[in-house]
Copies of this chain bind each other. A is one copy, B any other.
Amino acid sequence: MSAAATPSQTAVDPHERAQRSDARRNRGRVIAAARSCMARDGLDAQMEDIARRAGVGVGTVYRHFSTKDELVEALAADRFQRLEELAREALAQDDPWESFEQFIRVSAHIQTEDRALSEVLTSRPEIMGRAAQSVGILDLVSRLLGRAQMAGVVRKDAHPRDVPMLMCALAGTFRNPNSDPDRYIGIVLDGLRAQGGKYTKLPPVADS
């Protein structure tokens, strides 16, 4: 019990010597490397690859994240923070439908480019739950949705929790190489519209 202290954001006991500068620098590198490896290879990106790309040894990765899962969770939290920003930006817009649609599209787009995120969404509900909770994202989504419902452009029986679930549904299509994400985003959006709303123009089907 010698207070080995997680070298992260837990408030640092002022008695303790601060984290060494090289440690802090390497932590950043590891996170960046993990982000890009996992965006490409998904959850089964390898620790050694990550270490290599970060320019450090595996041992160093483990000094900062005692487990692969911990690293995954850190990244997930990070991505959710990004989503939160996007939700705020969307909320700043005036038109209730536009802002809702924008948020959905942009979040979907992020998943398109980050395989790890989409895998966490579809196969690690616990992680996703914790990450979403820590950021206040569900609340923002509620506001986006509520405003659109109030304005009569989104069906009244939609529930805030449907949004992440639908995102996670869309994630499934992104992984399929010959699928055009925008078609499915469009269809889902139209399924959420208040009845009688004008439908999305779907992108044309690419012939194969």
In the complex, what residues of B have CB within 8 A of residue A125's CB? 175-178
Residue A5, interface by CB 8 Å: no
Determine the residue in chain B with the shortest Cβ distance to A189.
Answer: B191
The list of the 3 closest CB pairs from A to B, nearest first, reads A191-B191, A172-B172, A187-B191
Residue A25, interface by CB 8 Å: no
Taking each of A162, A168, A187, A205, which has the highest tally of chain B beta carbons within 10 Å of its own beta carbon? A187
In the complex, what residues of B have CB within 8 A of residue A195's CB? 196, 198-199
Contact with B along A140-181 (1 / 0, CB 8 A): 000000000000000101110110011011111101111100
Residue A190, interface by CB 8 Å: yes
Residue A192, interface by CB 8 Å: yes
Residue A122, interface by CB 8 Å: yes
Q: Flag if B184 contacts A165 (CB, 8 Å).
A: yes
Chain A binding surface, main DSSP class = helix
Tell me which of B162, B169, B189, B199 contacts A169 (CB under 8 A).
Answer: B169
Q: Flag if B175 contacts A123 (CB, 8 Å).
A: yes
A118 to chain B, nearest CB (A): 9
Residue A202, interface by CB 8 Å: yes
Given A122-B122, A183-B162: A171 in contact with B168 (beta carbons within 8 A): no
In the complex, what residues of B have CB within 8 A of residue A201's CB? 157
Q: Flag if B159 contacts A205 (CB, 8 Å).
A: yes
Residue A188, interface by CB 8 Å: yes
Q: Flag if B122 contacts A202 (CB, 8 Å).
A: no
CA of A201 to CA of B202 in the docked complex: distance in angstroms? 24
